[in-house]
Chains A and B, each alone.
With several copies, the nearest count.
Chain A
Amino acid sequence: QRTPKVTLTIAAAANVQYALSELVQQFEQQTKIKCNIISSSSGKLTAQINEGAAYDIFFSADMKYPEFIFSEGLADQKPTVYALGSLVLWSTKEGIEPSLSLLGSDQIKHIALANPMTAPYGKAAEQILQSLINYEELKGKLVYGESIAQVNQFVNSGAAEIGITAKSVVLSPQLKNIGKWISIDDNLYDSIEQGMISLKNSTASDELKLQFFDFMGSEKAKAILSDYGYKLPKSE
């Protein structure tokens, strides 16, 4: 019988990390339990978990990866949605007032979005664009980031005049005052459900993990998430 360790190893998708680091800080203060965040893309983390990585909890950017993990029998229980992501239109270029109607103009040469194939935010961004009447024209302007983080780099560096990114990004301490952004009507895209899941191949005790999930349900945690621009799932 191994003595259960007192740290939690949390694997987290890159885009949750801003909010998560504050969440973890709170959690550590409250419980004196240390947490390690290992951030990477959801796809890599899923592959690693599938091959036996000893992580305790997985925070994904969507529900697809946690559901895959659950279906492979690698999780203690079904994944739960901890937050809903929302999208903004963001530009750091002077003289550009972001709006969906501006996308077709000559001022905009490149529109950055995450790769719809690998990033849930990308899929949603694509839905938004597809809802526009001039989608076919816009197609030639699209550039794809590996993740939402890369979209941020495209926009932040000015390489792309405008981009569709997560609200959590533009509200993050690092980017709070950079460029201009507007929220995008959330009717234009399917809600981006972000799931967390407790993993089987874990060295932490179940109680510990439970403690963290409990914390995620707390008002404090919810407040942090909404500060970061996430919407909260309707409690079931």
Chain B
Amino acid sequence: MEWGPIILTFRLAFLTTLILMLISIPLAYWLSRTKFKLKPILETLISMPLVLPPTVIGFYLLVAFSPNNSLGTFLRESIGLQLVFSFSGLVFASVIYSLPFMVHPIQAGFANLPASLTESAYVMGKSQWTTLRKVLLPNIRSSLLTGIVLSFAHTIGEFGVVLMIGGNIPNKTRVASIAVYDEVEALNYAAANQYSLFLFIVSFAILLAVYFINGNVLNKFWK
């Protein structure tokens, strides 16, 4: 078993989860408040990448961001961002693909909070940002946790998109999910089991820690 893919995987999963939180919290907050007419369409669109097979999504992203394409050229020439065959591409694709796992639970959490919590923070002169950070987020912790766990786990396991847009380059885009897939394909079941077990154990430990911390804090103060 090589360490490269494992390290890359957890780097990708942490980074993706982090970026997803940064994007999803404001997005979900906005969705939970807005009276915008087209909201259901937006909500549906967010889930849409899920209905296509990952490899196919990957393929469409590949076509969209290929240097042959004006978008790809533009990105590369204007901000030096190259999304195909690069780690940033993996992150980008994972973020798009896991977006619904983060946005939807958080949005549901916000929707369930009583309006008076926000209102009373506002009349105390607290900004929307402070209110979000100090009042709303701590009170939707179980929803936030759901979003984090689903996105994190999903990013670790996903390989279709990543394989397509990343190109399986050792130490750059060859994540563990691709490695274990390759071992299965090559009938190296022993190696595959080793990777799987390791992925499984590390992910298990991380998520369990998250749950335990959350559970303890909850038990101490909530009930």
Contacts and interface: CB of A to CB of B under 8 A. Distances in A.
| Direct contact between A and B judged by beta carbons closer than 8 A | yes
Given A51-B63, A51-B66, A174 B168 contact: no
A156 B167 CA distance: 14
Interface string A143-187: 111110110111011111000000001001011000000000000
B185 A52 contact: no
A44 B188 CA distance: 12
B186 A44 contact: no
Interface string B59-91: 100110111110010000000000011000000
Contacts of A48: 62, 85, 164, 167
Interface residues of B, number: 26
A117 interface: yes
Instruction: Choose among A18, A110, A158 the residue with the greatest number of B CB atoms under 10 Å from its CB.
Output: A158
B163 interface: yes
B52 interface: no
Interface in A35-80: 36, 38-44, 46-48, 50-54, 65, 68
B215 interface: no
Contact of A93 (B68, B164, B167, B168): B68
Contact of A118 (B63, B167, B174, B182): B182
B55 interface: yes
Interface residues of A, number: 49
A17 interface: yes
Contacts of B85: 48, 53-54, 110, 143, 159-160
B184 interface: yes
Given A143-B169, A144-B169, A150 B163 contact: yes
A154 B169 CA distance: 13
B187 A149 contact: yes
Given A47-B59, A159-B85, A172-B187, A38 B67 contact: no
Contacts of B164: 44, 47-48, 150, 153
B62 A39 contact: no
Given A145-B167, A150-B163, A172-B187, 5 more contacts: A44-B164, A44-B185, A109-B67, A115-B168, A149-B185
Interface of B: 55, 59, 62-63, 65-69, 72, 84-85, 163-164, 167-170, 174, 181-182, 184-188
Q: For the complex of A and B, list the 8 residue pairs with the smallest distance between their C-beta atoms, beginning with the closest.
A: A158-B68, A143-B167, A43-B185, A51-B66, A144-B168, A118-B185, A149-B185, A159-B66
Interface of A: 14, 17-18, 36, 38-44, 46-48, 50-54, 65, 68, 92-93, 109-110, 112, 115, 117-118, 142-147, 149-150, 152-154, 156-160, 169, 172, 174-175
9 contacts: A36-B170, A47-B62, A52-B72, A53-B167, A117-B185, A118-B185, A145-B168, A152-B187, A158-B67
